[in-house]
Structure 1
């Protein structure tokens, strides 16, 4: 990653956090007025700001994570504070139960653990709020901070919240099906003798491209591509055609749509980038791939075509 690009990202993250926390405090003040019994800002919002503005692509920083996680943790924390008389036991129980509830509702948000602790250890002012603590300040401040993040990333031309396009997945499934039909003719020509019905045969074929790349076997690598190795076009998230979000210069490195996904790992490692831009034949930005996209693509590549189609 270029030093200038890395510094620019740090500055944007800091400005985003500055804007987010300031807006959250202002929104709380606008709603509560001079009510000093309710805190205008609670400490977990600072941790949430780190995720929302420094690593907005993380699954832990998505809207449902921050809203669902904080609200669930607040409810659990208030219940534990009311029912358990020993603060340390109440705090430990609140955090443990909050994690369980967040996992159940798929809204894991690390700062929510601090929300549960705040409900238990926040002092008399927090305890007097009772269940109002869930709505004000937690739900109010979480919504304000999330709104600030949505506005900030929109102004910066960043894609937030993270969205997944189903078009590439459907296209990939169709491509797998057609290449699977060709496999029976391709493999014998190369002297492959394993039976497609044998357990692990399909996974071996799909992983052969990565193995070939690591060992420098170009002939075997070409075979793997013929047998259905996924390309960047199959796993990328489509970028909307907008001047603010379809500019290739916002990415530290770019690849082509026909680049095999086994070639992506060095880009993330060597450039220390979070996302890789995907260009079409005309050099236009058509998609983006994150580290999570690559992991999911490699997982799909190791599955059988029947499993993918299902």
Structure 2
């Protein structure tokens, strides 16, 4: 019975996992791969002949699938394709010079290319096929022996240029941008969400322990893990919404409110930010203590300017606009990153576009405390 269950489990490993991409993305990637492959092989055929373009068309097609269908993967980044193609060309030319154009030489070129790509961090599977094809590529009579390598690199650059243009025009960032490492407070402290739980070092250690190739960047893996944590937290925290947490008795000002009056409202009510509403009571901006201090600091050597600032300048000249807001039905989990990692001290809450409340960091802490007590009961 146990052996039957193990055999069934082994067979199930052959079944593919469900895709988490949408059909629209399939169509986008398919069109891009076709365009990129056609352009790169056309350029190669125009410069080096149709025979040379067809000879390398298989690896180029495989690269096109990676660059357009899984452009966020570690194997599809610009250095991966250019570096791997270069490794394959150098190794194959060396093999054909010292050995011969044979299957043994092709297999050796494949293995050595893979061995070279790993420390250079440019692993790209189609480059293995490039190395194989390079061994059997024969330049035309009178042409230099390195002409096939030039053809490969030209086609690779053409394919990469198409990927850069097409992916970004279709709103798929390529190459995969590295996340900003600095915090909003410009200190060496990690983000609040990284001070407890999983952080970047934990992911690095996990990847080191795995020890095998993973076709995902560390940034993407971190994004997946944090998104998973977010959904799990949303499930465990029930249905706490912004409308249940917000302060409803709003202290606000208008764009024409004097700076001195705005400063009084902030200090008297012990606020860190002040919503700015127009004559139709629509939210048009927000002013914080930081904004006022920054304006005064700009005139720190001019006492007359400071006095004039408080008496004449209005909040409409200092306010931040547009304002980061949340909907009244926003889940508490969606507010955590905004009020911690993004460095915001308060979030205006809108209902059908109208300002109905404000959520502060204090409100968030109180809501999390109530949820913790609920789990302890």
Contact 1:28–1:41 (8 Å) recurs in 2: no
Q: Deviations over 1:39-80 (max 9, x none)?
A: 366121011001001100011100000011011101111211
**Secondary structure, counterpart of 1:89 in structure 2:** helix
Contact 1:230–1:261 (8 Å) recurs in 2: no
Is 1:12 equivalent to 2:28 in the alignment? yes
Q: CA deviation at 1:121?
A: 3.0
Partners of 1:149 and 1:161 in 2: CA distance: 9
Q: Which residue of 2 aligns with 1:72?
A: 87
Report which of the two structures shows the higher radius of gyration computed on alpha carbons.
2
TM-score of the pair, normalised by structure 1: 0.53
Q: Flag the structure with more relative contact order, 1 or 2, with Cα contacts below 8 A and sequence separation at least 6.
A: 1
**Secondary structure, counterpart of 1:56 in structure 2:** coil
Q: CA deviation at 1:93?
A: 1.1
TM-score of the pair, normalised by structure 2: 0.45
Q: Deviations over 1:12-61 (max 9, x none)?
A: 111011110121123224434xx456336612101100100110001110
Q: Which residue of 2 aligns with 1:121?
A: 136
Residue in structure 2 matching 1:167, options 156, 175, 181: 181
Q: How does 1:14-33 map to 2 (within 5 A)?
A: 14-32=30-48
Q: Which residue of 1 aligns with 2:120?
A: 105
Is 1:61 equivalent to 2:76 in the alignment? yes
Instruction: State the Cα RMSD in Å.
Output: 4.0
Q: Deviations over 1:233-277 (max 9, x none)?
A: xx9xxxxxxxxxxxxxxxxxxxxx9x965525879xxxxxxxxxx
Q: Which residue of 1 aligns with 2:147?
A: 132
Contact 1:27–1:144 (8 Å) recurs in 2: yes
Q: CA deviation at 1:123?
A: 5.6
Partners of 2:178 and 2:194 in 1: CA distance: 27
Name the count of aligned residue pairs: 198
Contact 2:102–2:136 (8 Å) recurs in 1: yes
Q: CA deviation at 1:230?
A: 5.2
- Distance verdict in 2 for CA 1:129–1:6, change over 3 Å: farther
Is 1:83 equivalent to 2:127 in the alignment? no
- Distance verdict in 2 for CA 1:123–1:265, change over 3 Å: farther
In structure 2, stretches of 5+ residues that fail to align are 1-17, 204-222, 234-323, 335-377
- Distance verdict in 2 for CA 1:226–1:138, change over 3 Å: closer
- Distance verdict in 2 for CA 1:266–1:88, change over 3 Å: farther
Is 1:228 equivalent to 2:196 in the alignment? yes
Q: How does 1:195-214 map to 2 (within 5 A)?
A: none
**Secondary structure, counterpart of 1:105 in structure 2:** coil
